[in-house]
Structure 1
């Protein structure tokens, strides 16, 4: 498939014009996505191939259970066809266990189960460090309205139910994850869909298949080692001859 005009390039992906109106071709790069936790961005061979396969797996699964996403189909090892959407400038984070930023802000020991999944919003601006924002900020600055927020919470919690179940089935604990949400128009009707990607770069994953300690007790869950390759292997979507030492990109 011939390349078309570049529409956008980010840390981990490039978007090109799609073959049909209202579509884009999403290309997955090998760059390790930098975050405020790990601010250094470096190329990791093969990561883009794995993220393409993993995002296809998760997005297809969500589509199959009625959770709308921008994903249409995978085109090749590094590209997929997606719907064009107006991206809401927020990262929607769902937390099941205390870790990272929430542990630091609230003094909750890392690994503590939260009473229920907590949904947080972060304003997408790298220069500002993607700050945590409240619903009042979102509505006041016109990034989304109250109905959008209600729909985003419902969407995020459905994604959480799906991902948590899938991960549990392969011995992985989903501590937290982030998604991006976009608006699409179907005639006069606007709906919100899951956009961008769902991959280990946007999740905090802990391995539950750990060996016993020397004293015979069970080790506590820790970060999934070689997260991209190992997760793809456990889910049965690992392409042949693709390995690399990538580490997970943690949520704040």
Structure 2
């Protein structure tokens, strides 16, 4: 493998300089974290599965006109994506009471919400990603009102599409997190979907049994974490023959 310049390393992915200007190579790790990096571990084969799952979902979203950063998958652990200026806001769409929402409002986990709820969180691990409002977002210049409107509309559209897609394979989309970025396209700034969509940032429950098939199994020490991710990929019809095999070796980089 040729040596590449590492741009950024996060909790679940590494970004490398892409082959063309405006592109980035996104490498999916097996590392798992929870509670803002307070709990750490490894889920064998997670990076391979999340790469394939996110590729599939981003491709399907692009087919219905949702702009994304995804360009193509390069190998089992890497994909080529557009370089974006990430907006420092995590958008959480909730359909069913779970996680922090259930705790904050005293709701029973699994309770269907009156309607889908969209929440915003400031991306800052050292502050535990605090919830913020549109007032905070505009006051601190993280995004403009038109950008927030675009993000909200796109998030609702993604939720509608993914809820139906997952329901078709017997999964309930409880909630999920999205990230967005800016790109300069055709003489104007454009908001596009970035990061990934996978069991790392989606709560997915079996429709009939409510069995959790996502990272909550890691958060709550429920066991069978690898099998849960594999089951999601299997239902989507994209499970690799050997999800634990690393086609891409441990990445290398040259000093910046």
Same fold (TM over 0.5): yes
Partner of 2:243: 242
Partner of 1:156: 155
Q: Distance in 2 between matches of 1:34 and 1:3?
A: 31
Deviation readout 1:2-51 (Å, 9 max, x if unpaired): 34210000011000010111000000011013234x83111222110000
Q: Distance in 2 between matches of 1:126 and 1:4?
A: 27
Q: Distance in 1 between matches of 2:173 and 2:33?
A: 19
Question: Which runs of 4 or more aligned residues in structure 1 lie more than 3 Å from their structure 2 counterparts after TM superposition?
Answer: none
Say which of 220, 223, 229 aligns to 2:212: 223
Q: Distance in 1 between matches of 2:181 and 2:91?
A: 11
SS in 2 for 1:156: helix
Q: Distance in 2 between matches of 1:238 and 1:184?
A: 32
Structure 2: 5+ residue stretches without partners: 214-223, 246-256
Deviation readout 1:206-252 (Å, 9 max, x if unpaired): 11243xxxxxxxxxx231263211100111100012259xxxxxxxx
Mapped contact 1:71–1:83 kept (Cα < 8 A) = yes
Mapped contact 2:6–2:14 kept (Cα < 8 A) = yes
Q: CA shift at 1:111, angstroms?
A: 1.1
Q: CA shift at 1:105, angstroms?
A: 1.4
Partner of 1:134: 133
Q: CA shift at 1:190, angstroms?
A: 1.0
Partner of 2:142: 143
Mapped contact 1:180–1:195 kept (Cα < 8 A) = yes
Q: Distance in 1 between matches of 2:234 and 2:18?
A: 30
Partner of 1:215: none
Partner of 1:61: 60
The alignment's C-alpha RMSD in Å is: 1.5
Pairs within 5 Å for 1:10-159: 10-36=10-36, 39-159=38-158
Q: Count the aligned residue pairs.
A: 233
When structure 1 is superposed on structure 2, of 200-209 and 61-70 the one drifting more is 200-209
Structure 1: 5+ residue stretches without partners: 211-220, 245-252
Q: CA shift at 1:183, angstroms?
A: 0.5
Pairs within 5 Å for 1:181-220: 181-210=180-209
Q: Distance in 2 between matches of 1:92 and 1:233?
A: 27
Mapped contact 1:18–1:81 kept (Cα < 8 A) = yes
Mapped contact 1:98–1:175 kept (Cα < 8 A) = yes
The yes-or-no answer on 1:176 pairing with 2:165 is no
Q: Distance in 1 between matches of 2:163 and 2:33?
A: 23
